Amino acid sequence: MNELAHLDEDLKNDISSAFGKSAEYYQQHAELQKQAANRLIASLEPWRDILPSGPIIELGCGTGFVTEGLAELYTDKEIQVTDLSDQMVEFCQQRFADSSNLQFRVQDAEEVSYDDPHYAMTISGFTAQWFEDAAQTLGKWLQATKPGGLLLVSFPGNESFPEWEEKCQELGLPFTANKLPDVEEMVVKMSVGPAQVDYYEDTVTQSFDSAGQFFRHLKNVGAATQKEGRALSPKELTMLINHWDNSTEGNIEVSYHLVFLAVKRDYDS
């Protein structure tokens, strides 16, 4: 294993560990992720009865926000529920112990095999932002999906956190949020080949009592792992929090750029 691969594996382990430790908090407090999951499931209504035969695979199940909707909609289909974190898989499996059509396993979503496309639907909520190349990984997921099948994902896009970035610029500090997928770039890449691509964008704002509470929330839901670049020093972070709080009247507001992407694989692919 070369050094780069080793570093990548270390990063994945860090991400998996952070989310695994956050399972209880995530289930109770990840309101944005739950809202996005509900909207993702709601978008399935036109597709509910026209998916081809074959199993459904969910990648990055977390504590089961998307899983819950799938279990209600598709009682007669095999649903494979996966996550990089064994703790998340265990948590989700315990939640849905009475659902006989759900199968659970630990799986790296970037390592989906597409040699034999057999999934009626590939679905994932709030996972794509963690990949090294989101468009490339989603392309693999589409190839693993049967002709006539559906790839359906949600993720925070690259226009998220403008308030955070603005406060960093005002102080001359680096903006250390992880780089998020560019929706236009992703749509262009996903549109190459015999597939029908549709997407919807929205902005959702969350309020926090303070900037410190926002950063604690990111950490507590497991989303604070830094993929690249340097983190702020404790002194710099304190400076940012104090500046953000002192320059804001009332609650701190943080905007998320939500992206919902649906790709139907054509039968002639």
Question: In percent, how much of the chain has pLDDT > 70?
Answer: 97
The neighbouring-strand residues paired with 199 are 261
Range with lowest mean pLDDT among 4-8, 134-138, 193-197, 212-216: 4-8
Is the pLDDT at 13 greater than 90? The verdict is yes
Q: Which of 14, 68, 61 lies closest to 41 in space, CA to CA?
A: 68
Range with lowest mean pLDDT among 13-17, 112-116, 136-140, 251-255: 112-116
The neighbouring-strand residues paired with 104 are 81
pLDDT in tens, 81-112: 999 999 999 999 999 999 999 999 999 999 88
30-56 burial, b at 16+ Cβ within 10 Å, e below that, comes to: bebbbbbbebbbebbeebeeebbebbb
User: How large is the average pLDDT for residues 226-233?
Assistant: 91
Q: Which of 256, 248, 225, 249 lies closest to 170 in space, CA to CA?
A: 248
Contact partners, residue 167, CB within 8 Å, separation at least 6: 211, 240, 243, 244, 247
Outline where the chain has alpha helix (H): 3-21, 23-29, 31-42, 65-73, 86-95, 134-143, 162-171, 183-190, 211-220, 234-246
Residue 1 pLDDT grade (very low, low, confident, very high; cuts 50, 70, 90): very low
pLDDT in tens, 119-176: 999 999 999 999 999 999 999 999 999 999 999 999 999 999 999 999 999 999 999 9
Task: Give the per-residue pLDDT at 268.
Answer: 63
Task: Give the per-residue pLDDT at 112.
Answer: 86
Domains (ranges, CATH) in the chain?
3-158+180-205+256-265 (3.40.50.150)
229 backbone φψ class: left, alpha, beta (φ>0; ψ -120 to 50): left
Q: What are the backbone dihedrals phi and psi of residue 259, each rounded to the nearest 5 degrees, phi first?
A: -125, 130
Q: What is the arrangement of strands in the sheet containing 102-106, beginning at the earlier edge strand?
A: 102-106, 79-83, 56-59, 119-125, 145-156, 252-265, 195-208
Q: Which residue has the tokens 């939640």?
A: 95
Task: Give the per-residue pLDDT at 252.
Answer: 97
Residue 193 pLDDT grade (very low, low, confident, very high; cuts 50, 70, 90): confident
**CB-based burial of residue 260 (10 Å sphere; 0-12 exposed, 13-18 middle, 19+ buried)?**
buried
Residue type, 62: G
Residue 7 pLDDT grade (very low, low, confident, very high; cuts 50, 70, 90): very low
pLDDT in tens, 24-78: 999 999 999 999 999 999 999 888 888 999 999 999 999 999 999 999 999 999 9
Task: Give the per-residue pLDDT at 194.
Answer: 79
Task: Give the per-residue pLDDT at 3.
Answer: 38
